[in-house]
Amino acid sequence: MKTMESIYEEMKAQYAALTGSVPAEGGDLTLRLYTAAAQLYALWEQAAFVLRQSVPQTAVGEHLDHHAAMRGITRRPGTHAAGTLRFSVDRAAGQDISIPIGTTCTSAAGTAFETTQAGTLSAGELYCDVPARAVLSGTGGNVPVDSVGYMVLAPAGVSACSNPVPFAGGGGEESDESLRARVLTSYKRLPNGANIAYYETQALSVPGVAAVSVMPKHRGVGTVDVVITGVSGTPSYALITAVEEKLQAQREICVDLKVLSPDTTSVNITAAITTAPEFDSSEVRLAVRKAMQAYFNGALLGKPILRAELGRIIYGVEGVANYNLTLPAADLPGAADLLPVLGILRLSEAV
């Protein structure tokens, strides 16, 4: 790789070879040569950038989107975590209380959630549940039960809010790495409107789909089962319906097609963590727990669970000096319609 200094030195050497004299440092000629070297370096960098963006293997951002578009593939947008907001009163009211659509509540961390339809807290009742979603897309909206407790502008008469179920399903915009893998796969496995690659490509184009397994003749000749997962794991009914509507409109004639949720298998994990002296052991174990929870998502559909991969996740957490993984005792095989989910996770400090 050329640098501005190397180009400048080459120009000075060439000038000396042609004229027999070396330009004095700080003079007008060296200033002109240095300015020209800077411009040539900029052109060199621009040419290198264009070369990187010209192929999907190294293209990034919108340039990778252009390569994907040529293959009929689009980057999956971020998804909003969905759940339920519960609005309650201290004492039952004598009249109905309206909960407008768009009523916003937040968590202690400031993550905002809004109702997606209007609700009514009926007279004589202490609470009502209203469907809601995170205002912003991304994993930040995935929060556990009772994480939401503040109303931005409380509906008249309502005294408190909470979330009785977790908010889940939030995911960020598809990364360059994920999109690049799909683009390159489309060259290796050409979809023809009838094969496995075609159904995979179409299903993965639906926002919120994390992974797909296509099983032709799973229920006999003339059948195709398409198993999908969402960002957080098991897909919602709405996501299954969206994928089925898309595929039913494009399936082969006389094909019985079904879009299904995967079977799940719980993976129990037990590990003893050795914490580096300068770190707090409880905080390190909490970080390991979060890393493991993040790993078990919808992308694991059909994949085996390897002890080496689990060890890599644990050891990759800052503050982990060593570990001893006792469960699972062996690698767990995968199956096309099987989604591994995190079961009981036991983390202790090694003695």
Q: What is the pLDDT of residue 135?
A: 94
Is 93 part of any domain? yes
Is 115 part of any domain? yes
Clarify whether residues 326 and 276 are in a common domain. yes
Q: SS3 string of the chain? A: CCCHHHHHHHHHHHHHHHHCCCCCCCCHHHHHHHHHHHHHHHHHHHHHHHHHHCCCCCCCHHHHHHHHHHCCCCCCCCECCEEEEEEECCCCCCCCEEECCCCEEEECCCCEEEECCCEEECCCCCEEEEEEEECCCCHHHCECCCCEEEECCCCCCCCEEECCCCEECCECCCCHHHHHHHHHHHHHCCCCCCCHHHHHHHHHCCCCEEEEEEEECCCCCCEEEEEEEECCCCCCHHHHHHHHHHHHCCCCCCCEEEEECCEEEEEEEEEEEEECCCCCHHHHHHHHHHHHHHHCCHHHCCCCECHHHHHHHHHCCCCEEEEEEEECCCCECCCCCEEEEEEEEEEEECC
Clarify whether residues 268 and 345 are in a common domain. yes
Clarify whether residues 255 and 300 are in a common domain. no
User: End-to-end CA distance of the chain, in Å?
Assistant: 51
Is the backbone peptide bond immediately before 277 cis, with ω within 30 degrees of 0?
Answer: no
Tens-digit pLDDT string for the chain (351 aa) = 788 888 888 888 888 888 888 887 878 888 888 899 899 999 988 998 999 999 999 999 999 999 998 888 888 888 888 899 999 999 888 899 999 999 999 999 899 999 999 999 999 999 999 999 999 988 889 888 999 999 999 999 999 999 999 898 888 888 899 899 888 888 876 655 567 788 888 888 888 888 999 988 888 888 889 999 988 888 988 899 999 988 887 777 777 889 999 999 999 999 999 999 999 999 999 999 989 988 998 889 999 999 999 999 999 999 999 999 999 999 999 999 999 999 999 999 987
Is 143 part of any domain? yes
Is 14 part of any domain? yes
Clarify whether residues 114 and 156 are in a common domain. yes
Domain that holds residue 199: 189-211+223-260
Is 171 part of any domain? no
Clarify whether residues 267 and 339 are in a common domain. yes
Supply φ then ψ for residue 115, to 5 degrees: -70, 140
Q: What is the pTM of this model?
A: 0.57
* Residue listed under structure tokens 């690698």: 331
Clarify whether residues 87 and 116 are in a common domain. yes
Q: Is the CB of residue 124 less than 8 Å from the CB of residue 89?
A: no
* Residue listed under structure tokens 């309650």: 88
Clarify whether residues 299 and 312 are in a common domain. yes
Give residue 350's identity as a one-letter amino acid code: A
Is 167 part of any domain? no
Q: Who's near 244: CB < 8 A, 6+ residues apart? A: 257, 258, 259
What is the count of structural domains for the chain? Answer: 4
Clarify whether residues 87 and 37 are in a common domain. no
Q: Who's near 238: CB < 8 A, 6+ residues apart? A: none
Query: Comparing C-alpha atoms, which of 267, 255, 266 is closest to residue 214?
Result: 255
